[in-house]
Amino acid sequence: MDALDQVAPAAAGLLDRVDGVLAHAGAPADHRIWPLLRRVGALPGAALTAVLSLRPARPSFHSLLEVYADTRTAISVRGSWEGAGAEVFATHQAALSGHLDGLTAKLSTTEAYGEAVAGWVRESRGAVAAALVPLLASAEAVTVSTEPVSPESAIAAAEIAAEVLVAVDEAYDRLEALMRDWEVELAELPYRPPEAGAPSIDLTTRIGL
């Protein structure tokens, strides 16, 4: 349990009230809440639910790495055959083995990316919790919680919502930056077969039995 888990029960009740006030009374036309609502695409209660659903998890590709290692071992067996066919096979064998090496490196990169995402989740949950704590004891919270829907309570609700959505919006920005930073390293690694055609029919292949 982290700070967001601890503050969420009280915050959820307040934000539910905030969402209701905004839905009924709106907010002043020039209030900073409007661009934040457009960017985040959710009221603060729904935004909190989304952030609460995020849980850091460290990815593991151990079983897939074992499959790659077993495959590399299997294709390394050439037997005792030789000749034109064996040469073509060896060319493709080397290409596939190199591709498996590349896939292994790509898995390590993907694992590191997963750890970076987990770090983003922890940072984002902490940032939203830090934004919520002072709001729970604020004058705006008292207004929203105790007064009927009115222009005054609408302004108070908009202020609370803006503080929450700023934290969520900044988390989105960090995620977009993280994805841009990793975009090249996470690009697909296609297999490119070698340019080696079938052996000519007049060439000989000898297979040892």
Four-residue CA torsion sign, 56, 179, 127, 162: negative
Decide if 208 is inside a domain: no
Mean pLDDT of the chain: 88
Q: Are 167 and 50 in contact (CB under 8 A)?
A: no
pTM: 0.79
Do you know the residue count of the chain? Answer: 209
> How many structural domains comprise the chain?
1
Q: What is the mean pLDDT of the segment spanning 161-178?
A: 97
Decide if 27 is inside a domain: yes
**Higher-confidence position of 192 and 171:** 171
Question: pLDDT-derived band of residue 78, with 50, 70 and 90 as boundaries?
Answer: low
Nearest to 4 by CA among 183, 188, 133: 133
CATH value at residue 181: 1.20.1260
Q: Which domain holds residue 56?
A: 3-197
Q: Are 133 and 73 in contact (CB under 8 A)?
A: no
Q: Which of 83-87, 120-124, 195-199 has the lowest mean pLDDT?
A: 195-199
Decide if 127 is inside a domain: yes
Q: For position 209, what pLDDT does the model report?
A: 45
Q: pLDDT digit string (tens) for 26-58?
A: 999 999 999 999 999 999 999 999 999 999 887
Decide if 205 is inside a domain: no
Decide if 206 is inside a domain: no
Q: pLDDT digit string (tens) for 110-168?
A: 889 999 999 999 999 999 999 999 999 999 999 999 989 999 999 999 999 999 999 99
Decide if 49 is inside a domain: yes
Question: pLDDT-derived band of residue 197, with 50, 70 and 90 as boundaries?
Answer: low
Residue 89 corresponds to which tokens in the numbers above? Answer: 């096979």
- What is the DSSP pairing of strand 205-206 with strand 82-83? antiparallel
Decide if 131 is inside a domain: yes
Decide if 126 is inside a domain: yes
Residue 176 corresponds to which tokens in the numbers above? Answer: 């977009």
Q: Are 127 and 171 in contact (CB under 8 A)?
A: yes
For residue 65, which amino acid is it?
L
